[in-house]
Structure 1
Amino acid sequence: MVKVLTTSPGFGKHGRVPDRIAEMGWDLVRCDDASKPDGGVSDQIADADILVVGLVPATAETLVGADNLKAVIKHGVGVDNIDIPACTAAGLPVCNTPAANANAVAELAMGLLYAMARFIPQGHVSVTSGKWDRRVGTELSGKVLGIVGLGNIGKKLARHAIGVGIKVVATDPYADMDFAKEHDIEILPLEDLLGKADYVSLHIFGGKDNAALINRETIAKMKPGSKLINLARGEVVDLDAVAEALESGHLGGVAIDAYVTEPPETSHPVFGHPNAIFTPHSGADTKEAVENVGLMVVEDIATILDGGTPKRCLNAAELKK
């Protein structure tokens, strides 16, 4: 029987995915032991055929003793927690699921834009606590949204935002200029975007290249009173700098969905600020998106077990060398 390990809490649970796995006859083993740093992967890896990765990193150490392993697949898009060179050295294809959850993340970004513009969470707390604090917000129409990372998610967000009258600017070294021209999106350097946007939404990969991209220096370049959304990775934002900017009023609000450590340490001052909104890394958590991601993973597993190379294989060229 094919043994599939997963560290993703959502894989194999939604929509048509459980039935597909059952039809395939695979043994799905969940490595979710919170008492172990790797969730228990090291206890199961020796006879595993496939590793489906969630937020637990897949490192060179993970692969030790994985003599039967045939692939490492991310249940999601970001592969910054997978050591791709180590997988390549071990002859293992690495795949992910690009665009499968793009609309879900973009829709949450829109929800957070409205929530910050109209103080929706604060209004809820005001009413349920017996108060009646009517805060005057702003309309999104006519505002400028700066999208950092114009990939699959950034493009979806741009379409949503433009549809409600928001002007979009973006920064991306590999921007699709045809898309930008079609939607009248100005491509700017990050510094110029920060100075122009009323809202800044982050949609980039994590890792050392983008660590603390939003810091004291870059926040200082943002418009006074502008607001920040992080639906990317926790390390992209310096929370100390964000807390200071909220306290000074230079940042008018922040909405965060991703954290360096999850769950985060909520003793940090940013979690106590009234203009900060938090969600539990739920950008991709819609029934539709989780099903789409799962079906992509199942498809790629089947392809690999049949001896093929999935079209979403990220290191196919290196494996051929």
Structure 2
Amino acid sequence: MSIVVVTTSPGFGRHGRLPQLLEETGWEIIRCTDTALPDGGLSEHIGRADFLVAGLVPVNAATVNGASRLKAVLKHGVGVDNVDIPACTARGYPVTNTPGANSNAVAELAVGMMFSVARNIPYGHMNVVSGCWDRKPGTEIGGKVLGIVGLGNIGKLLARKAIALGMTVVASDLYPDQAFVAEHGIEIIELDALLSRADYVSLHVFGGTGNTALIGPRQIALMKPGACLLNLARGEVVDNDALAEALAQGRLRGAAIDAFVTEPPDVSQPLFKLSNVVFTPHSGADSLEALENVGLMVISDIKDFIAGRRSPRVLNPEVYDR
């Protein structure tokens, strides 16, 4: 019987060396990526899966309870807030992710978004292609303060890039890498202080209940007048209605959003009517290099599981104590 790998990640195994590597394995790949279905078709195929490569579709108790031959759940990425790890553990399924594999891609997009907002790049593009020649002065990011919320792998890479561009970096993090912040002269401060000080606030935290509306009306009111907010984390981290109000009133200069509560989002919402917001379709990790790196990690972990080896990236090692 062949190994069946079910995936809800559109990018899994499609780039670089990965198609050839997957072909060489002989595994059957079932892609549950039908955007017309709430779960992409996962519920129809989970019963056949030996391995589930999870994208952004929720992997909950109902999902894993529908599995009959599953051996592991492998997140195609880092954030596992859409994976019910306790439910997986209860069924005896190890859960892995791919830490660091796509961090540089997300950090680079954050820099690109800062430039887009600062220099009104989307506005300029639309003016030129529509036959106008209206120049809207922007601002330089050199000399400005970047506040990074979440100084993990992505946050640290972004900090390095921002410092190289002449920015001052402050950060908010519960467990900062003290050696890193000392080496790069980064000040660790409370979130409220960061919001009142930063010209650009970039969010790099996990989703989930603890961070829902982390940036809500009170936090947005604390932000420096004319500041810009970047959300490359999870949609639920920001109250977009409060953000839209602050942008429409001119209290904030701009925003850049890569993650949404519902994806694709409802574009009839007020935020999508504003000209000072840049949107991308949750593509922070979608560089060819990152997709290949993530895929290589996932394939390596599947091979480990097949061979009876423990992946070094298992997030619920207690599953082996069952």
TM-score by length of 1: 0.98
- 2:156 equivalent in structure 1: 155
- Equivalent-residue separation in structure 2 for 1:102 and 1:275 (angstroms): 26
Unmatched runs of 5 consecutive residues or more in structure 1 = none
Query: Greater CA deviation, 3-12 or 34-43?
Result: 34-43
- 2:239 equivalent in structure 1: 238
- Equivalent-residue separation in structure 1 for 2:273 and 2:209 (angstroms): 28
* Percent identity over paired residues: 61
- The question of whether the paired residues in 1 share the 8 Å contact of 2:94 and 2:319 is answered with no
- Equivalent-residue separation in structure 2 for 1:34 and 1:143 (angstroms): 40
Question: How much has 1:149 moved relative to structure 2?
Answer: 0.3
Question: How much has 1:36 moved relative to structure 2?
Answer: 2.9
- 2:194 equivalent in structure 1: 193
Question: How much has 1:47 moved relative to structure 2?
Answer: 2.4
CA deviations over 1:201-241 (Å, ceiling 9, x no partner): 00000011000111110001110000000000000011100
Question: How much has 1:34 moved relative to structure 2?
Answer: 3.2
- 2:274 equivalent in structure 1: 273
Query: Greater CA deviation, 119-128 or 283-292?
Result: 119-128
CA deviations over 1:135-183 (Å, ceiling 9, x no partner): 1111111100000000000000000100010000000101111100100
- 1:88 equivalent in structure 2: 89
The number of residue pairs the alignment matches comes to: 321
Question: How much has 1:64 moved relative to structure 2?
Answer: 1.9
Q: Does the alignment pair 1:282 with 2:297?
A: no
- 2:185 equivalent in structure 1: 184
Secondary structure at 1:258's aligned position in 2? coil
- Equivalent-residue separation in structure 1 for 2:152 and 2:85 (angstroms): 21
Give, as a single letter, the amino acid of the residue that structure 1 aligns with 2:170: V
Alignment map for 1:13-162 (pairs within 5 Å): 13-162=14-163
- Equivalent-residue separation in structure 2 for 1:318 and 1:173 (angstroms): 27
- 2:223 equivalent in structure 1: 222
- 1:210 equivalent in structure 2: 211
- The question of whether the paired residues in 2 share the 8 Å contact of 1:309 and 1:316 is answered with no
Query: Greater CA deviation, 190-199 or 44-53?
Result: 44-53
- The question of whether the paired residues in 1 share the 8 Å contact of 2:8 and 2:40 is answered with yes
Secondary structure at 1:62's aligned position in 2? helix
Unmatched runs of 5 consecutive residues or more in structure 2 = none
Question: How much has 1:128 moved relative to structure 2?
Answer: 1.4
- 2:255 equivalent in structure 1: 254
- The question of whether the paired residues in 2 share the 8 Å contact of 1:106 and 1:154 is answered with yes
Q: Does the alignment pair 1:175 with 2:180?
A: no
- The question of whether the paired residues in 2 share the 8 Å contact of 1:5 and 1:31 is answered with yes
- Equivalent-residue separation in structure 2 for 1:159 and 1:220 (angstroms): 28
CA deviations over 1:39-93 (Å, ceiling 9, x no partner): 2222212221000001111000001231210000100111000000000000000
Question: How much has 1:318 moved relative to structure 2?
Answer: 4.6
- 1:297 equivalent in structure 2: 298
- The question of whether the paired residues in 2 share the 8 Å contact of 1:144 and 1:169 is answered with yes
Runs of 4+ more than 4 Å apart: none
TM-score by length of 2: 0.98
- Equivalent-residue separation in structure 2 for 1:269 and 1:234 (angstroms): 15
- The question of whether the paired residues in 2 share the 8 Å contact of 1:38 and 1:56 is answered with yes
Secondary structure at 2:65's aligned position in 1? coil
- The question of whether the paired residues in 2 share the 8 Å contact of 1:199 and 1:226 is answered with yes
Question: How much has 1:35 moved relative to structure 2?
Answer: 3.7
- Equivalent-residue separation in structure 2 for 1:67 and 1:270 (angstroms): 43
CA deviations over 1:249-298 (Å, ceiling 9, x no partner): 11110000000111110001111111111011110111100000000000
- Equivalent-residue separation in structure 2 for 1:167 and 1:34 (angstroms): 41
